[in-house]
Amino acid sequence: MSELRQNLATREWVILASERAKKPMDFVSATPRSPEPEREARCPLCPGNEAQTGKEVLAMRSDGRQDGPGWRLRVVPNKYPALTPSPNCAVIPHRSLNGPYLRMEGCGYHEVIVEHPRHDQTLATMTVAEVQVILEAYWQRCHQLAPDCNNLLMTIFRNYGAQAGASLRHPHSQLMTTGIVPLHVRTRLYEAQRYFDDVGTCPYCDILRHELQARERIVLENDGFLVFVPYAAGAPYEMWLMPKRHRASFGEVTQEELPGWAAALQGALVRLAHLLGDPDYNYVLRTAPYTMAAVPFYHWHMEILPHLKTTRAGFEIGSGVSINTVAPEAAAQALREVLSTIGGEAHEA
Amino acid sequence: MSELRQNLATREWVILASERAKKPMDFVSATPRSPEPEREARCPLCPGNEAQTGKEVLAMRSDGRQDGPGWRLRVVPNKYPALTPSPNCAVIPHRSLNGPYLRMEGCGYHEVIVEHPRHDQTLATMTVAEVQVILEAYWQRCHQLAPDCNNLLMTIFRNYGAQAGASLRHPHSQLMTTGIVPLHVRTRLYEAQRYFDDVGTCPYCDILRHELQARERIVLENDGFLVFVPYAAGAPYEMWLMPKRHRASFGEVTQEELPGWAAALQGALVRLAHLLGDPDYNYVLRTAPYTMAAVPFYHWHMEILPHLKTTRAGFEIGSGVSINTVAPEAAAQALREVLSTIGGEAHEA
């Protein structure tokens, strides 16, 4: 018989149907990713092709000049933006009516974080120091954009592989800002606030405390961060990366915490790549809206969601309830142990 | 510049980025669906293979006996159920704690509606009378299962094609019942109730009234039903099928209304198949929980969601906001006009 599990923080139920369980190998794609060159002449994100993107809004560089080569990381506007910054929206985001319906202009920033000069790198092949540069860029853009009320909510995400929605192979992630807090996010904030009202603690802090004690679903841990498979994971090998220190917004993270965050993120993605044959995945950074950075009930974190030949079908669309065929405890064990079975790694301890 | 549109009933925003608009032909798959035989010896849902399924819980048959051939439609338990009925859950669905987390046994019905004896039929090739038989089966199972408190919510859905999550080609849809009203559904009920509190009318009735007046997004209409592309459609060529008569639960539909429902559903799917090369799709039947069948603020309807080489990527996962690249008005016009451009059909008028 299957089991229903509820996520303590989001109050979403999932169905865990692990009778149909598959082994990690069953998820590995039959067609491995094609190898990439260090530099791809036609890639708009490769060094030397800077003129093919919009002007950089942020760059980390040891040499070279703006919009030329020599960078370690660049942030540029998305060439096909879903939202665009506009002076019309500078003061207040304006709604209008179309019949009975609300509408507004698509104001917001939509940017690409070009994570590394080398075309063939992934977060799982970069060094921890290189991953840290990416997180620094997230943090800087958060602080540069947040004061504008049109950027109330920042969504940072990474689509890796075609199944995850990526159209370019060059390592990159994206950010989008909106002047609204969408229903999906508001619901999570509301459920966390209800929990805080009832229990007096942040539900994410309580999850963290329990996971550290139970030690059944931990993938890796360091001084500042925990990576674990959530009790009510909605998909096989889903992982949550959570800072041990309570903060609603990742914008509150200090410089000293970035190395631990980078090591945790890199370690999680190395394990995923080794265990499941470098699968496509999405990650999203969930953080409170800028104006709620100090609330005691929300806790920023990252969700890492591999794409593993599983489909969000009619039942999931209709009910919002996911069906997961891999027990979170088994997924965590496999992810935790994968590096030791292939010879170990420096950050395995 | 893109546009944000809000769904009046669900309060979900979508981004309409139709600068990147594609024509219907751009969505047509390069590899058309392979033709199917009328009967497939290895198909567990084909006539003659009844022993390969669990015992039928409902059948429409002109001749033959239970679990033998001669049926027009059968309802059988899903062979790989995500939920199973259990005597343990018969009285009250029981929760227990696992550490701080809620869990319960996976009680519920998970059934397959085998829609037609012929392996090669689809809802777009069946007659309206045959489609009506399917809707009658939905309705009967609703009334047979609803009195049990473990079946508080019934989710009926159809996965058509591998991308939509179907593992069998034989025409079928599915139903699942749960003793919970998941957060996703509860949020929709709550938003509709808020609207009712503020405005005094059902938001779905107001949408219907406006769409009938504006006539910009209508796909087809008959006496009892309207099929339209919603103002804030989240995906290209998404359609909503809505009864003109206000009812929270589809279980309240009378026998007289079934032909109109069947004609609307069949007409919508014929148009989809013609316009977009018989694409994979999901449909879901959204209906109030059994105990809320009489509420004035909710309105049952069907959502038809084609799978068109679009991906739910990081931004959609993180924000819950969909990005749609086809204007609902253009999608509706193409769907409305497709049959006349290929010679018309009886129910085109």
Measured torsion, CA atoms of residues A42, A44, A49, A50, in degrees rounded to the nearest 10: 180
What pLDDT is attached to residue A344?
A: 46
State the CB neighbour count (10 A cutoff) for residue B335. Answer: 27
How big is chain A by its Cα radius of gyration, in Å?
Answer: 20
Q: What is the mean pLDDT of chain B?
A: 93
Give the residues of chain A that fall short of pLDDT 70.
20-21, 88-93, 341-349
What pLDDT is attached to residue A132?
A: 98
Q: Chain A: give the shortest CA distance to residue B203, in Å.
A: 10
Question: What is d(CA A257, CA A64) in angstroms, rounded to the nearest whole number?
Answer: 29
User: Which of A4, A105, A283 would best serve as a mutation to test chain B binding (most B beta carbons within 10 A)?
Assistant: A4
Question: What is d(CA B14, CA B6) in angstroms, rounded to the nearest whole number?
Answer: 6
| Backbone phi, psi, residue A197, to 5° | -60, -40
Residues of B taking part in catalysis? 172
Taking an 8 Å cut-off on Cβ atoms, the answer to whether B3 and A283 are in contact is no
If DSSP states are collapsed to H, E and C, what string results for chain A? CCEEEECCCCCCEEEECHHHCCCHHHHCCCCCCCCCCCCCCCCCCCCCCHHHCCCCCEEEECCCCCCCCCEEEEEEECCCCCCECCHHHCCCCCEEEECCEEEEECECCEEEEECCCCCCCCCCCCCHHHHHHHHHHHHHHHHHHCCCHHHCEEEEEEEECHHHCCCCCCCEEEEEEECCCCHHHHHHHHHHHHHHHHHCCCHHHHHHHHHHHHCCCEEEECCCEEEECCCCCCCCCCEEEEECCCCCCHHHCCHHHHHHHHHHHHHHHHHHHHHHCCCCEEEEEECCCHHHCCCCCCCCEEEEEECCCCCCCHHHHHHCCEEECCCHHHHHHHHHHHHHHCCCCHHHC
Q: Is B334 helix (H, G, I), strand (E, B) or coil?
A: helix
Q: Is B154 helix (H, G, I), strand (E, B) or coil?
A: strand
Tell me, yes or no, if A183 comes closer than 8 A to chain B by beta carbon: yes
Those of residues 115-144 in B touching chain A at CB distance below 8 A are: none
Tell me, yes or no, if A281 comes closer than 8 A to chain B by beta carbon: no
Question: What is d(CA A59, CA A67) in angstroms, rounded to the nearest whole number?
Answer: 9
Give chain A positions within 8 Å (CB) of B106.
1-4, 15-17
What residues are paired with B101 via a beta bridge?
B98
- Going by pLDDT thresholds of 50, 70 and 90, the confidence category of residue B349 is very low
Averaged pLDDT for residues B171-186: 95
Q: Is B274 helix (H, G, I), strand (E, B) or coil?
A: helix
* Structural domains of chain B sorted by starting position, each given as residue range(s) with its CATH number in brackets: 37-343 (3.30.428.10)
- B282 vs A15, A314, A320: nearest CB: A314
Please check whether residue A251 is in contact with residue A139, taking contact to mean a CB–CB distance below 8 angstroms. yes
Taking an 8 Å cut-off on Cβ atoms, the answer to whether B184 and A86 are in contact is no
Tell me, yes or no, if A287 comes closer than 8 A to chain B by beta carbon: no
Please identify which residue in the block is written with the tokens 């751009």: B26
* pLDDT 10s digits, A161-219: 999 999 999 999 999 999 899 999 999 999 999 999 999 999 999 999 999 999 999 99
Averaged pLDDT for residues B325-345: 86
pLDDT(B266) > 50:
yes
Taking an 8 Å cut-off on Cβ atoms, the answer to whether A319 and B182 are in contact is yes
Averaged pLDDT for residues B325-342: 92
Please check whether residue A105 is in contact with residue A87, taking contact to mean a CB–CB distance below 8 angstroms. no
Averaged pLDDT for residues B317-322: 96
Please check whether residue B8 is in contact with residue B207, taking contact to mean a CB–CB distance below 8 angstroms. yes
- Going by pLDDT thresholds of 50, 70 and 90, the confidence category of residue B338 is very high
- Going by pLDDT thresholds of 50, 70 and 90, the confidence category of residue B347 is very low
Annotation marks residue A299 as catalytic: no
Taking an 8 Å cut-off on Cβ atoms, the answer to whether B182 and A320 are in contact is yes
Those of residues 220-239 in A touching chain B at CB distance below 8 A are: 231-232
B232 or B340, which is more confident?
Answer: B232
Question: What is d(CA A13, CA B185) in angstroms, rounded to the nearest whole number?
Answer: 12
pLDDT(B296) > 70:
yes
What pLDDT is attached to residue A348?
A: 39
- A323 vs B1, B82, B163: nearest CB: B82
pTM: 0.94
pLDDT(B348) > 80:
no
Please check whether residue A83 is in contact with residue A177, taking contact to mean a CB–CB distance below 8 angstroms. yes
pLDDT(B331) > 60:
yes
What pLDDT is attached to residue A88?
A: 67
Q: Apex CA A21: angle with CA A16 and CA A24, to 5°?
A: 115
Question: What is d(CA A218, CA A211) in angstroms, rounded to the nearest whole number?
Answer: 7
Those of residues 307-346 in B touching chain A at CB distance below 8 A are: 311-315, 317-321, 323
| Backbone phi, psi, residue A164, to 5° | -90, 5
What pLDDT is attached to residue A310?
A: 76
How many residues does this entry show for chain B? 349
Tell me, yes or no, if A218 comes closer than 8 A to chain B by beta carbon: no
Least reliable range by pLDDT among B78-92, B118-132, B139-153, B280-294: B78-92
What pLDDT is attached to residue A90?
A: 61
What pLDDT is attached to residue A20?
A: 65
State the CB neighbour count (10 A cutoff) for residue A53. Answer: 18
B35 or B21, which is more confident?
Answer: B35
Taking an 8 Å cut-off on Cβ atoms, the answer to whether A13 and B153 are in contact is no
* Interface predicted TM-score (ipTM) of this complex, two decimals: 0.93
Give chain B positions within 8 Å (CB) of A163.
311
- Going by pLDDT thresholds of 50, 70 and 90, the confidence category of residue B346 is very low
Give chain B positions within 8 Å (CB) of A286.
318
Those of residues 78-97 in A touching chain B at CB distance below 8 A are: 80-84, 86
pLDDT(B294) > 60:
yes
What pLDDT is attached to residue B94?
A: 79
